[in-house]
Amino acid sequence: MIIHVIVLLIVLYCWKDVWNCFRVWYLLRKFDGPKPSSLIFGNWDVVCAPPDKLFKNIHDACTKYYPHCYLRILNVCALLMTDPDDCEIFLSTTKHTKKSLIYDIFGRWLQDGLLLSKGAKWQHRRKILTPAFHFSLLKDFVKTFNEKTDELVANLTAKGSNAISIVPEMQEFSLLTINETAMGIKMNLGDEKHKAYREGISKMEELFNQFIVRPWLTSHILRKFTSFPKQEFKVVKVLHQYTKSIIKKRMDETNEIATEKNVPEKNEMHIGKKKRRKNMLDILIEAHNDGNQIDYRGICEEVDTFTFEGHDTVSSALSFCMMLIANHPEIQNRILEEIHSILGAKDEHPSYEDLVNMEYLERCIKESLRLYPSVHIISRATDEDTKLKSGLIVPKDAVILIPIISVHRNPNIYPDPEKFDPDRFLLDNCLKRHPFAYIPFSAGPRNCIGQRFAMLEMKAVLSAVIKKFELIPVDTPKTIHLNMETILRAKNGIRIKFLPRVG
């Protein structure tokens, strides 16, 4: 009798999944899309491709079946969506905030950090973290941006006028910078933990690529019969050790804070007789100590999330932007003129206000992010049936894929979309465009909380580098091949020559 009940429950559980899958398929079949190449695997040939093929596959499908393209991989029914009106429906609401299964690869690593959490937990974490990116704290970070940029300039100078593979340089710079600003921890390039973390990120990206090209890995059950979980556990252990060492060091410093009669300023803490500025990790530790608003695991989740997102996205953006500027000398000269008009020809560090006033440089960065958004695709799982402007219904539990890079290269929105033209971001031109036609930091309630931080950091780096060097291209937009990995990358890297400016 008990066995019969167990079997019945299993059948009912499976039937629910089968029925739900059939319902999603039935409603999505009205959308256009390529014919499945396999009855079982569906459109695996489109999505489950190597990183250097994936961009072309996705972009071609988005172009051919605009404004939405239906794909099925195993039992997962997905909709590629590139029309700004449709993107707005899913990104501007507090509904549909659940991330889809393509984020599963990050689950063991980032757990319930701000990137992956949902519902009340996400809202609570966002509320705790928002003060960490207030402009008053961002102003304090400029000094560190300048110091780390000086180190970068010295490093580039030491390498001479030979072609430099710029991506590793930017990765090292941005990781050290996020540690010192958001976490308050200084770390040297030669630190073994630092090196192990970078290697761990590379291995995690290799696992992500496996996850994409092998559709059976999306099944938790089938995944257990492969070597994937063992590899993942080993890599995640290294990544967690790195961030836990950062948290421990900062917590130890916080515990040394002396109780003094004088009260620190709003953005300051006292350690003995010394003052230090607050940062994101300090705010998390305070939330933990003040009524346990977040537990230790929660601190780890957010530090893991921001250490990864805060350095890898910036390093990718800086690398592509430098390549574009190097390939457009007239734009590079105009940036230099703006820098000189604000700072003069002297070796002075820019202030927060100086960086804000670099409007043309900001337009260049925005245009670079249009062409090469670091986060090239975002995804959601629908919470309820949703009607699009076309009248078609996207059913509950469907997977929505928004390829940001294809949204940004729509010729109906951006004429001559492959051209690097910073003037697309003149105010008048921006006002004419749909607000969801440009979403390098996502949009709506789940937009990137650190986007102002990232823009300020990129301005500090680019203004210093362009002031010191003439950027000479080795690779061009036509010679690089894009890899759609966890972050958008150039398959064979990006090489640039940095010639010291005279006078």
Residues of the binding site for heme: 448
How deeply is 267 buried, as exposed, middle or buried, from its count of CB atoms within 10 A (0-12, 13-18, 19+)?
A: middle
In 312-408, which ranges are E strands?
377-381, 386-387, 393-394, 399-403
Contacts of 141 (CB under 8 A, 6+ apart): 181, 453, 456, 457
Most distant CA pair in the chain: distance in Å? Answer: 90
Identify whether 67 is preceded by a cis peptide bond (ω within 30 of 0).
yes
Question: Helices in 131-270 by DSSP H: which ranges?
Answer: 135-158, 166-181, 192-213, 220-223, 228-255
CA-nearest of 489, 202, 442 to 317 is 489
**DSSP string covering 81-113:** E--HHHHHHHHSSSSS-S--GGGGGGHHHHTTS
Per-residue CA distances from 199 to 103, 206, 388, 399, 451 (Å)? 21, 11, 43, 31, 26
Residues 298, 462: Cα–Cα separation, whole Å: 34
Q: Do residues 45 and 58 make contact, with C-beta atoms less than 8 angstroms apart?
A: no
Residues 321, 323: Cα–Cα separation, whole Å: 5
Residues 65, 71: Cα–Cα separation, whole Å: 11
Q: What type of residue sits at position 346? A: K
Per-residue CA distances from 328 to 321, 353, 400, 476 (Å)? 11, 27, 36, 10
Backbone phi, psi, residue 82, to 5°: -130, -5
